[in-house]
A and B are shown apart, each in its own frame.
Chain A
């Protein structure tokens, strides 16, 4: 096998390296900087140039090599290269070739161009390891333009009603993607410390983001009456929010497609937006690889692999410790 599924993670015997391992190993190949994929304690890391700054920011002083997309690295008896996954800036699928057989571990991915991340690039392979976070036909994402219109419409309405719009977003990827969709003509954009820290890392590596105002003492409803506020989901409803006076709250996540989740979150608005592929996206991506074998990791693994089998793939389930089935955990870490 080109890749094997072990207790420590996805293992390549030919290279003696692991992809996104969840236990400490000597050599780790990392698809992207989210905490369920890039974990501390590895002997050495290899990641894309664009993923590295966030990983350093989060993991501190680690031994890391970086690579541009598409460059072949000979490690042991394997040829290894990284290809855009479209998930967040710097995210990659990892292509592993051993004796002419090609496997691709996709990490997390989405297939639409979010205007921020390097767009997903299909890679031909014999076997494809896919996620299935949203692997059911109920998940169908609206177009990015529709999303932008809804978000700005909500913000403008809030501003007209004298309320602050407070949006819960994940700090890496989702926040910056949404920043680029916002219309600064409506008002100022305020950011929670966790979001702003990631903004800084991404700006420093050359990504262009609109101007943001970090929320510090003195930044409040009075100083910025027409503001939209971007904060991690955990900050919504906390004492931190009091300074904004009258607010309308929103969440931005793929899970917001479901009315039950929207209601449980008790936010005023739910915006359906995800950095994972929806049902159509997953099926399209898998077809593009030309793979005969498909391994399904986190998400709706049983349902999705059953579906793939019916479509003629040799499909199986792989147990992983990536941000899995737990919706609330998933909301915080990966959606």
Chain B
């Protein structure tokens, strides 16, 4: 594991992408194949099953370090990471155990069915035989939750550099339902068999938010405009008499949406559709709010009642594979024609719709169409160049999100809580309130949107202005007003304020705004009436 720990250190010691890519590429060029496969798996979120509970790890670490458990627990929030806390409190190792990454993983998996005392002995032996960085890495293998400051994209780029295989092609090979047990370096990277995994999705094409003026994109007739629907982006695969539904986060969601099974009988094998899964009102032919979809996402399987309460459809955006042929290099205009034709031929009872084109003669016309997005349950428009291929990953140029401006409200910070990991020593998680008469009613939390410098500044302020503590949460003097931006608002009986926000974040620190001028609960309710 020395090499892997060295890789980890090299990645950890730099913030420069080029240096990270080089370190990874070096590793991929020299590490043993089993280790490489595991490294790819770990960096793409495929972790081994957790063999030992964190409760046990905490107990054993405290005992081995000769400190009471409460003191260990007191260290944890300071460090912000359990694996690191353990690595830091344990005494210096007295010996040195050398094993490869894959050998350590095998050791850990061997503990799956072992007795507790065997598990403990194995873990303590590892802790005693590993220097601190390897010990930290070892703990991460147990607890999962890898964040090595390396995105899958960066890893793929390094892999491309090390193997000479094209990045987009590698991205595709790394997609889908594989694990280091089911594949080898050879079968995954070097010489993949395209038919081996029928469920393998294509990499999603992702858009950036439009920053320039829309008319700078050129002739409006070169572009396809459609609604940016507010559901879950999904890729539906129909191959070999089976269906698979993938989320953008590469999670297989097939069983959560049984309604799509019927499509197998109506569309040819070798069909892959990119679209948005939406809860849908069939009678009104209109999407239901994201709130209705939420319970469907949270469950592995769906009870009947939920199926009728929140029936789902796939709102189709694009066709990636048709009759077994990869269409991604075909221009969008042609892909759309085939898709529109295919869907038009289907009985409307099926849970598949084409995302309608939004037509306009000029950019102003599209801007007007965009303005009503929130009213019809969309987040804005998508603009896609009609002659463009379907690319892999987030790319600028051919696709743009043109979202409506977020809703905003000025709110008062009333509670603060420290972050974790990189932000463990900073107060970053805040609760905000609006006025209701002379009371402040909490209505949302937010923890992003400020710069590091602003977080440092507010952290210092929080420490000096704490009025009460509830565990890790500090109540602070109501003083600071923040502009909270959010994408949507829903009625919510679970919240004191009666509303729940979608994607709330801090848009601005309103140092110019006096406390009394923050918004009120009435203002929130008005927004609810208008957009809820």
A contacts, CB < 8 Å to B? 136-140, 257-264, 266, 268-269, 300, 303, 306-307, 310, 325-329
Whether the Cβ atoms of B463 and A137 lie closer than 8 Å is no
Give the distance in Å from the alpha carbon of A138 to the alpha carbon of B79 in the complex. 8
| Inter-chain contact A329/B424, CB cutoff 8 Å | no
Q: Which B1-50 residues sit within 8 Å CB-CB of chain A?
A: 12-15
B407 in the interface (beta carbon within 8 A): no
Contact, CB under 8 Å: A257 / B463: no
The 9 closest A-B pairs by CB, nearest first: A138-B88, A260-B424, A303-B74, A263-B422, A327-B425, A138-B75, A137-B89, A260-B80, A260-B422
Cβ-Cβ contact count across A and B, 8 Å cutoff: 71
Partner of B460, one of A136, A269, A307, A329: A329
Chain A residues within 8 Å of B422, by CB: 260, 263-264
- Alpha-carbon distance between A140 and B89 when the two chains are bound, in angstroms: 8
Shortest Cβ distance from residue A304 to the other chain B in the assembled complex, whole angstroms: 10
Q: Is the CB of B14 within 8 A of A137?
A: no
Say yes or no for B67: interface residue by CB 8 A criterion: yes
Is B463 a contact of A136 with CB atoms below 8 Å?
A: no
Chain B residue at minimal CB-CB distance from A310: B68
Tell whether A136 pairs with B423 under 8 Å between CB atoms, given A259-B84, A264-B452, A326-B460: no
Q: Are the CB atoms of A261 and B84 closer together than 8 Å?
A: no
The answer to whether B425 and A261 have CB atoms under 8 Å apart is: yes
Whether, in the assembled complex, B207 has its beta carbon less than 8 Å from a beta carbon of chain A, the answer is no
Shortest distance from the beta carbon of B76 to any chain A beta carbon, whole Å: 9
Residues of A with C-beta under 8 A to B79: 138, 258-260
**6 contacting pairs across A/B (C-beta < 8 A):** A136-B71, A139-B88, A259-B12, A260-B425, A306-B70, A326-B463
Given contacts A138-B89, A264-B452, A268-B15, 10 further A-B contacts (CB under 8 A): A139-B88, A258-B424, A260-B80, A260-B423, A268-B13, A268-B14, A306-B70, A306-B71, A326-B460, A327-B425
Chain A's closest residue to B16 (CB) is A268
Is B429 interfacial (CB-CB < 8 Å)?
Answer: no
Map CB proximity to A onto B481-510 as digits: 1 under 8 Å, 0 otherwise.
000000000000000000000000000000
- Residue of A257, A258, A269, A300 with most chain B CB atoms under a 10 A cut-off: A258
Say yes or no: A138-B78 contact (C-beta < 8 A), given A260-B425, A261-B425, A264-B452: yes
Query: Cβ of B85 and Cβ of A138 under 8 Å apart?
Result: yes
| Contacts of B57-77 to chain A: CB distance below 8 A | 65, 67-68, 70-72, 74-75
CA A264 to CA B80, docked complex, whole Å: 13
Within the complex, what minimum Cβ distance (angstroms) separates B425 from chain A? 5
Interface centre among B81, B89, B425 (most CB of A within 10 A): B425
Any chain A CB within 8 A of the CB of B268? no
Q: Are B88 and A257 in contact (CB under 8 A)?
A: yes
Interface positions, chain B 425-479, Cβ under 8 Å from A, are: 425-426, 452, 456, 459-460, 463
Contact of A137 among B67, B80, B84 (CB under 8 A): B67
CB < 8 Å neighbour of A266 from B15, B75, B423? B15
Q: How near does chain A come to B20, taking the closest CB pair, in angstroms?
A: 12
Query: When chains A and B are docked, how far (Å) is the Cα of A303 from the Cα of B77?
Result: 12
With a cutoff of 8 Å between Cβ atoms, the chain A residues found around residue B12 in the complex are: 259, 262-263
- In whole angstroms, how far apart are the Cα atoms of A329 and B81 in the complex? 23
**Cβ–Cβ contact B71 & A307, under 8 A:** yes
- Which B residue's beta carbon lies closest to that of A324? B463
B421 close to A (CB within 8 Å): yes
Chain B's nearest CB lies how many Å from the CB of A197?
Answer: 26
- Name the A residues within 8 Å of B149 (CB-CB): 263
Whole-angstrom CA separation of A325 from B426 in the bound complex: 11
A221 to chain B, nearest CB (A): 18
Contact between B13 and A328, CB atoms less than 8 A apart: no
For residue B7, give the distance in angstroms from its CB to the closest CB of chain A. Answer: 15
Question: Which residues from B are CB-within-8-Å of A138?
Answer: 75, 78-79, 85, 88-89
Q: Closest B-chain residue to A302, C-beta based?
A: B74
Shortest CB distance B14–A (Å): 6
- Chain B residues, Cβ within 8 Å of A328: 456, 459-460
Distance between A159 CB and nearest chain B CB, rounded to angstroms: 17
Question: Are A136 and B13 in contact, CB atoms less than 8 angstroms apart?
Answer: no
Residues of A within 8 A of B136 (CB): 259
Q: Which residue of B lies closest to A154 (CB)?
A: B13
Say yes or no: A137 contacts B13, CB within 8 Å. Answer: no
Q: B421 contacts which of A260, A307, A310 (Cβ < 8 Å)?
A: A260
Which residues on A sit within 8 Å (CB–CB) of B68?
310
Find chain B residues with CB under 8 A from A307 CB: 71
Chain B residue, CB-CB nearest to A257: B88
Q: Which chain A residues border B452 with CB–CB below 8 Å? A: 264
**Least CB separation from B84: chain A residue:** A259
A295 CA to B236 CA in the complex, in Å? 66
Whole-angstrom distance from the CB of B136 to the nearest CB of chain A? 8
Q: Nearest residue in A to B456 (C-beta to C-beta)? A: A328
CB-based nearest B residue for A307: B71
Question: Contact: B75 with A137, CB < 8 Å?
Answer: yes
